[in-house]
Amino acid sequence: MPEGNWRKGIGGRELAELGAPISHCQMTDIVKLFAVAFCIQIILGALPAGAVDFTAAEQRKILRHGPWPPPAPPDPSNRVSGAPAAAAFGRVLFFDTRLSVSGAISCATCHRPETGWTDGLARSRGQRAVDRNALSLFNLRFNRWFGWDGAQDTLWAQNLRPLLDAREMGIGAAGAARLVRADRSLSCGYRRAFGAAPGADDERVFVDLGKALAAFLETLVTGRTPFDDFRDALARNDAAGQARYPAAAKRGLRLFVGRGNCAFCHFGPAFANGEFADAGVAHFAGSGRADPGRFGGIRKLRKSPYTLLGRFNDDPARTTAVKTRHVRLAHSNFGEFRVPGLRNAALTAPYMHAGSLKTLADVVRHYSTLDEERLHAGGERILRRLDLSAREQADLVAFLESLTEAEPRRDGGIDTEVPPCR
Amino acid sequence: MARRRQRGPAFAAALALVLAAAGANACERPQDWTGGSKIAGKTWTVWWQSAPAAIPVGAHFSLRFRLCGPPVRQVKVRGWMPDHRHGMNYRPGVTLAGRSGTAAGLMFHMPGRWQLIFDIAGAAGREKLTAEMVLE
């Protein structure tokens, strides 16, 4: 019988409130049967003090957020996905400032390992300021779309975007290809990763750089968290394991899967449904300009040569292209932005697409006091002002913090060592 | 005579519709299928089956379907979350051959109550057949 039903059977009271279990076994008639069974549970240690009263429905919802990590098959559109030599080459490229037009900006300028693979700024700055916050690079391999607006349908295509954007690195396809061909070390890394020296086709070499970078970024999967330990303890009915999870986080978790409606969008093991939403934050990008978000992202996707439907997809069967074929452009996409995953979220402040909220507490407060008039939802009814109490807000923050690794890797490293190219 | 000539075809068409509707009501599971679900309407009945069999949350799935009833000109397939008042982020591609078809590229991107809607059109009119499900 699920734990929640047990507790309903005795009126839903916490075990700690019931006092000495033996006295509660001294009941009469119908209640006695339940009480005896309950005492057996206590004696067996299956329901210790501090266990939270999750209903069977809540438990099912909680279990959907794991197990972690999920299976991570290679990306069939990238022929070097999962290849250690490509990941090692990608790591070199990631930290190389020569891939920017000024020679001063690398990927790591805005995605710093020591700050959760982001830069801590509201709006990032490459060659010049951009309109959006630098997304963290954790768990990218589980994404369906990439970037705040989902303008890219693969991780390798996402890596090409800043190299082309004059505001970010801006080196361009020809400049990047020339660099790799001319530099002995980079040329060696390319050869090891792809099995041949970089060819004369600039665009082909350029796309391959994106694929090597993707092979590296695929390795940045977050580790297990206090929530995962709790979730797995719940799955195996391990009450002692469940009891180690802080009570505030449990209360926050109940809000998350229940009244908070958070899990509609922050669904599954990565705490993201892979899609886009209007979160009720302003989407002005500067004087007189609005950031169109997903609406603009789909339009860019359809014009891009670097998609799963294009010639750079290494999978002749196009097995992962169904999303790109069928994605729908709608007016309601205007002002929608990526639903970010929440793992290690405590490391990646500030939050939202333009970094408008500084802390997790600010994010929770935003949804608690949401101005529904600001939503451009076209009649959608997902977000509602939550009106959470101060304690409920603190509980939700405690839960979100429990999604963070105890000791996150900050070294930008990958486990497979490949001899350096000279 | 003229009136009779006009009534004859009209009567035959009405009879055909009645018979077709009766056929729709008697619609049996396709013999080559295992599993599947049926939605019966006034004019058409549809048998449908998803792949994978259990519709996932946040992952693409496809359908095959078979219709009973009068001839069909067009079938559209869509998803709708009535509680949230939104549909899918993807436009399914539907192929139709006679009364059989497939739909590819569907995704229910949130847990909750979803409606799977077959919007069927033909000479006999238009009808929406809806299956409702709750995904966790």
Segment A51-79, tens digit of pLDDT: 568 999 999 999 999 999 999 999 999 99
The mean per-residue pLDDT over the stretch A311-338 comes to: 96
Where does the pLDDT of residue A311 fall: very low under 50, low under 70, confident under 90, or very high at 90 and above? Answer: very high
Query: Which residue from A minimizes the CA distance to B94?
Result: A326
Per-residue pLDDT, A78:
98
The dihedrals phi and psi of A212, each to the nearest 5 degrees, come to: -65, -40
Which residue did the predictor score with more confidence, A283 or A302? A302
pLDDT in tens, A86-117: 999 999 999 999 999 999 999 999 999 989 99
Q: To the nearest whole angstrom, how far is the Cα of B81 from the nearest Cα of chain A?
A: 9
Instruction: Name residues 89-118 of chain B within 8 A of A (Cβ).
Output: 89-93, 104-105, 107, 109-112
User: Is some CB atom of chain A closer than 8 A to the CB atom of B79?
Assistant: no
- How many CB atoms sit inside 10 A of residue A328's CB? 14
The mean per-residue pLDDT over the stretch A242-250 comes to: 97
Question: d(Cα A135, Cα A349) in Å, to the nearest integer?
Answer: 10
Report the topology of domain A56-69+224-287+336-411: Cytochrome Bc1 Complex; Chain D, domain 2 (1.10.760)
Query: Which residue from B minimizes the CA distance to A272?
Result: B58
Q: Mean pLDDT score of chain B, rounded to an integer?
A: 88
Asked whether the beta carbons of residue B85 and residue A274 sit closer than 8 angstroms, the reply is no
* Residue A9 predicted with pLDDT over 70: no
* Residue B36 predicted with pLDDT over 50: yes
Where does the pLDDT of residue A289 fall: very low under 50, low under 70, confident under 90, or very high at 90 and above? Answer: confident
The mean per-residue pLDDT over the stretch A12-35 comes to: 38
* Residue B115 predicted with pLDDT over 70: yes
Chain A residues lying within 8 Å of B93, measured CB to CB: 325-326
Per-residue pLDDT, A286:
72
* Residue A414 predicted with pLDDT over 90: no
* Residue A2 predicted with pLDDT over 90: no
pLDDT in tens, A231-240: 999 999 999 9
The tally of CA atoms less than 13 A away on the side-chain side of residue A279 is: 28
Asked whether the beta carbons of residue A265 and residue B90 sit closer than 8 angstroms, the reply is no
Chain B residues lying within 8 Å of A275, measured CB to CB: 58, 89, 109
Residue A345 per-residue DSSP state: G
Structure tokens at A358: 């500084």
The mean per-residue pLDDT over the stretch B85-98 comes to: 96
In angstroms, how far is CA A343 from the centroid of its own chain? 6
Chain B residues lying within 8 Å of A64, measured CB to CB: 57, 111, 136
Question: d(Cα B107, Cα A326) in Å, to the nearest integer?
Answer: 10
Q: Please name each of the domains of chain B with its CATH number.
A: 2-135 (2.60.40.1930)
Q: Whose CA is closest to A134, among A155, A160, A108? A: A108
- Euclidean distance between the first and the last CA atom of chain A, given in angstroms as a whole number: 63
Asked whether the beta carbons of residue A328 and residue B136 sit closer than 8 angstroms, the reply is no
Question: d(Cα B107, Cα B114) in Å, to the nearest integer?
Answer: 11
Per-residue pLDDT, A12:
30
- How many CB atoms sit inside 10 A of residue A189's CB? 25
Q: To the nearest whole angstrom, how far is the Cα of B1 from the nearest Cα of chain A?
A: 55
Chain B residues lying within 8 Å of A380, measured CB to CB: 84-86
* Residue A224 predicted with pLDDT over 80: yes
Question: d(Cα A402, Cα A409) in Å, to the nearest integer?
Answer: 16
Which residue did the predictor score with more confidence, A12 or A300? A300
Size of interface A-B (CB pairs under 8 A): 61
The mean per-residue pLDDT over the stretch A189-196 comes to: 97
Query: Which residue from B minimizes the CA distance to A331?
Result: B89
> How many residues are there in chain A?
422
Per-residue pLDDT, A276:
96
Which residue did the predictor score with more confidence, B5 or A97? A97
Where does the pLDDT of residue A377 fall: very low under 50, low under 70, confident under 90, or very high at 90 and above? Answer: low
- How many CB atoms sit inside 10 A of residue A280's CB? 19
pLDDT in tens, B52-85: 999 999 999 999 999 999 999 999 999 999 999 9
Residues of chain A with CATH 1.10.760.10: 56-69+224-287+336-411, 74-221+294-333
Q: Which CATH architecture has domain A74-221+294-333?
A: Orthogonal Bundle (1.10)
User: Is some CB atom of chain A closer than 8 A to the CB atom of B60?
Assistant: yes
Asked whether the beta carbons of residue A264 and residue B110 sit closer than 8 angstroms, the reply is yes
